[in-house]
């Protein structure tokens, strides 16, 4: 079932139920109102019957008045269908009856209730027939109970016509509502159908297309369009980054592989070589293999740092101990590099993270600082500090520094600044560090000027 049909059915059902309840309320309110009016008319009839009966009894010796009284009563009774009038004296004896049809017996207990309350209804309206009683006082005849009953044919006819009108109107309204709901649902869902057609035209090879924004941007469809376009922006950036990464990685991997293959091919051109020459070829091959291994490890670390954060094991990590560990490993790589550590006055440098990844991030920053400072014999300074909101590691070197243009590209994988072309590396250290810090809800900040060295800040949020 389509959403359009489902919405049309739901709207139509809700409106149909609403109109049905409204029609029932109108019908039963009308029925109750007419029943109340009919009951009041019957009580008025009892007053007329009582007056007429007492007047007739007081003038029974006059035959003309008696005949006039009877004629008046006959005309009165013909005004309501199947109307009957009865009068009971103080001993509950039937002293007067007028009307046609069989007379239903009246319970004595009900007559006593009429005498006690002054008026009562013997039977509520059933099949439009009703019987009421009224206590009538006369000084000569005593307390009389006047009973009147009739059938409400007018209400029967009018309520039948009202039922037909309500049923016909309800069916017509349901038909109109169904058609209107179908049209309005189609109009409301038209932007979604347009979005479906546009989404079908977006492929992995062309992520530059975007959904057309129409109508209000604050309604649900407008917000969905905005969110989907933002998703396409992220996907396009991810695909472009992936293609760039694969292209640059292929280029970087090709360099050591080409050098490795070239050295081996050259060594095989001559049948015999001196041990010194073989040693040189093997050393060059080993250097290329190590370079290839370092590059491969860096690429694996970048892939690992790009994983879902929920899939990376986290634990409490002390940054001061991590910095000491990184310092030990750094001295194995650069034994002549001078690195001064400053832990400040704070005592708690604990963050939540993955120790191996954080060690790689810190080591990458220290390694870059040593490589660029060794040529000038400068000193590298690593300072740990704690504020109310952040834990900070500042690594400063006295290297050649970076230009403003190069500074904007330092987080692009495989980018090498002009001042770093003579320094061994692949340009994946800072991009890897940035991804690791993002994985830990942290950030990396770099400041540098040509000839003034470089400062790199690693910042972690203070654990709650």
* H helix or E strand, kind and range, residue 35: helix 3-58
Element (H, E) at 352: strand 350-353
Name the β-bridge partners of 341.
Answer: 382
Q: How far apart are CA 211 and CA 229, in angstroms?
A: 6
Mode of pairing for the β-strands spanning 84-88 and 350-353: unpaired
**H or E element: which one contains 457?**
strand 454-461
The answer for residues whose C-beta is within 8 angstroms of residue 101's C-beta and 6 or more apart is 82, 84
Q: What are the pLDDT digits (tens) for 241-262?
A: 666 666 656 655 666 677 778 7
Closest CA to 250 of 189, 306, 292, 187: 292
Residue 352: predicted pLDDT: 87
pTM over 0.85: no
Of 112, 68, 70, nearest to 88 (Cα)?
Answer: 112
> Sign of the C-alpha dihedral, residues 204, 208, 213, 218?
positive
Q: How far apart are CA 128 and CA 137, in angstroms?
A: 29
Instruction: Provide the token pair at 347.
Output: 């005592």
Is the Cβ–Cβ distance between 212 and 198 less than 8 Å? Answer: yes
Q: How far apart are CA 429 and CA 305, in angstroms?
A: 12
Q: Which residues contact 25 (CB under 8 A, 6 or more apart)?
A: none
The candidate with the shortest Cα–Cα distance to 280, out of 291, 266, 300, is 266
Please give the structure tokens belonging to residue 294.
Answer: 């370092």
User: Which distant-in-sequence residues (6+ apart) come within 8 Å of 188 by Cβ?
Assistant: 7
Distance set, CA 338 to CA 289, 321, 369, 375, 437 (Å): 28, 19, 10, 12, 25
E strand spans, 54-159: 84-88, 94-99, 119-126, 129-138, 142-151
Q: Which residues of the chain have pLDDT under 70?
A: 1, 58-79, 100-101, 123-126, 204-205, 214-219, 240-256, 270-271, 291, 294-295, 297-312, 346, 375-376, 413-428, 464
Determine the Cα–Cα distance for residues 108 and 301; give it in Å rounded to an integer.
Answer: 104
**Distance between CA 126 and CA 120 in Å, rounded?**
16
DSSP string, 75-104: HHHTTSTT-EEEEE-TT--EEEEEESSPPP
User: What is the model's pLDDT at position 25?
Assistant: 92
Q: Rounded CA gap, 43 and 28, in Å? A: 22
- The string of pLDDT tens digits covering residues 145-204 is 888 888 888 888 888 888 899 898 888 888 888 888 888 877 777 777 777 777 777 776
CB 342 within 8 A of CB 306: no
Q: What angle do CA 96, 98, 102 make, to 5 degrees?
A: 105
List the domains of the chain with CATH numbers.
3-159 (3.30.450.20), 222-305 (1.10.287.130), 310-461 (3.30.565.10)
pLDDT of residue 458: 92
3-class SS letters over 216-248: CCCCHHHHHHHHHHHHHHHHHHHHHHHHHHHHH
| Listed residue (380, 372, 381, 367) closest to 451, CA to CA | 372
Q: Say how far apart CA 145 and CA 279 lie, in whole Å.
A: 138
Distance of CA 454 to the CA centre of its chain: 47
Q: What is the pLDDT of residue 40?
A: 83
């Amino acid at each position: 079932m389509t959403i359009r049909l489902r919405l049309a059915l739901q709207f139509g059902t809700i409106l149909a139920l609403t109109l049905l309840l409204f029609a029932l309320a109108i019908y039963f309110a009308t029925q109750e109102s007419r029943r109340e009016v009919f009951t009041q008319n019957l009580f008025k009839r009892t007053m007329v019957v009582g007056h007429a009966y007492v007047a007739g009894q007081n003038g029974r010796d006059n035959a003309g008045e008696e005949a006039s009284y009877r004629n008046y009563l006959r005309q009165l009774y013909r005004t309501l269908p199947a109307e009957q009038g009865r009068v009971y004296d103080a001993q509950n004896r039937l002293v007067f009856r007028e009307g046609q049809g069989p007379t239903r017996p009246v319970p004595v207990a009900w007559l006593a209730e009429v005498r006690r309350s002054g008026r009562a209804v013997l039977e509520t309206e059933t099949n439009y027939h009703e019987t009421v009683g009224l206590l009538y006082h006369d000084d000569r005849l005593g307390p009389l109970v006047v009973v009147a009953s009739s059938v409400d044919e007018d209400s029967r006819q009018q309520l039948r016509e009202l039922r037909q009108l309500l049923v016909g109107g309800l069916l017509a309204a349901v038909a109109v509502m169904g058609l209107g709901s179908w049209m309005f649902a189609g109009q409301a869902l038209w932007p979604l159908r347009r979005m479906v057609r546009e989404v079908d035209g977006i492929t992995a090879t062309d992520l530059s297309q975007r959904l057309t924004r129409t109508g209000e941007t604050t309604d649900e469809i407008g917000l969905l369009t905005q969110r989907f376009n933002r998703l396409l922006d992220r996907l396009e950036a991810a695909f472009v980054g992936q293609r760039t990464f694969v292209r640059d990685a292929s280029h970087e991997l090709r360099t050591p592989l080409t050098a490795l293959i070239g050295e081996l091919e050259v060594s095989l051109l001559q049948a015999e070589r001196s041990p010194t020459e073989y040693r040189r070829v093997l050393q060059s091959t080993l250097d290329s293999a190590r370079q290839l291994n370092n590059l491969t490890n860096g690429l694996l670390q970048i892939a690992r740092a790009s994983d879902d954060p929920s899939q990376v094991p986290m634990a409490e990590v002390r940054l001061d101990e991590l910095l000491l560990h990184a310092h030990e490993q750094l001295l194995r790589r650069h034994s002549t590099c001078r690195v001064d550590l400053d832990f400040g006055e704070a005592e708690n440098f604990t963050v939540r993270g993955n120790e191996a990844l954080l060690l790689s991030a810190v080591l990458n920053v220290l390694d870059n600082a040593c490589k660029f400072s060794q040529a000038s014999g400068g000193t590298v300074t690593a300072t740990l500090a704690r504020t109310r909101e952040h834990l900070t590691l500042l690594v400063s070197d006295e290297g050649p520094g970076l230009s403003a243009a190069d500074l904007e590209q330092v987080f692009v994988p495989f980018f090498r600044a002009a001042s770093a072309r003579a320094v061994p590396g692949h340009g994946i250290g800072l991009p890897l560090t940035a991804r690791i810090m993002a994985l830990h809800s942290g950030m990396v900040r770099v400041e540098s000027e040509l000839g003034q060295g470089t400062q790199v800040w690693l910042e972690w949020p203070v654990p709650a």
